[in-house]
């Protein structure tokens, strides 16, 4: 179905996405990058004495650390999403039919190469009996 159905992913045996794991990794990378960069600037490269305050002042760095965490997570998850769904520039998308993007629905069946032609014909007749507009057979390489 093209509409969201609660519990359908579990019923179909689809695995859970790993996008949230990528978000955590990118966020942790942003946090560590911010802390490392600010620490290096404030203590090694350009230490400035502000009224006797310590060079290593973690509370003052919370806003920029938060901002870099969010930035790394957002950009990293966007790029990961585009890559995993084959939507990145230069990657040819796998589209069954261009009409599916605007006004048509499709059903797909995964058949093994050694599936007998009688079984394929049985599926074709069953779909046509149920009112299918078109029935096509396509091969997709992984």
The residue count of the chain comes to 142
pTM: 0.64
Q: Please give the pLDDT value at position 7.
A: 87
- In sequence order, which residues have a C-beta less than 8 Å from that of residue 78 and are 6 or more positions away? none
Question: Per-domain residue ranges for the chain?
Answer: 8-84, 94-142
CA-angle at 61, arms to 58 and 63, nearest 5°: 135
Q: Please give the pLDDT value at position 71.
A: 98
Is there a contact between 140 and 94 (Cβ–Cβ < 8 Å)? yes
Which among 27, 25, 26, 29 is positioned nearest to 37, based on CA atoms?
29
Is there a contact between 56 and 42 (Cβ–Cβ < 8 Å)? yes
Q: How far is the C-alpha of 135 from the C-alpha of 107, rounded, in Å?
A: 9
pLDDT along the chain (142 residues), means of 10: 81 86 96 95 86 84 96 96 84 76 79 85 90 81 60
Cα dist. 66→34, 76, 77 in Å?
9, 15, 16
């Amino acid at each position: 179905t093209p509409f969201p159905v609660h519990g359908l992913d579990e019923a179909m045996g689809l695995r859970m996405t790993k996008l949230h794991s990528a978000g955590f990794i990118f966020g942790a990378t942003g946090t560590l990058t911010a802390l490392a960069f600010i620490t290096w600037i404030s203590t090694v490269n350009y230490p400035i004495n502000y009224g006797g305050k310590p060079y290593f002042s973690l509370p003052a760095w919370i806003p920029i650390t938060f901002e870099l965490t969010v930035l790394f997570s957002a950009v990293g998850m966007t790029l990961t999403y585009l890559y995993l769904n084959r939507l990145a520039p230069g990657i040819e998308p796998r589209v069954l039919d261009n009409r599916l993007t605007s006004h048509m629905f499709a059903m797909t069946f995964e058949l093994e190469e050694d599936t007998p032609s009688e079984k394929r014909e049985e599926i074709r007749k069953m779909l046509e009996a149920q009112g299918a507009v078109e029935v096509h057979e396509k091969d997709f390489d992984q």
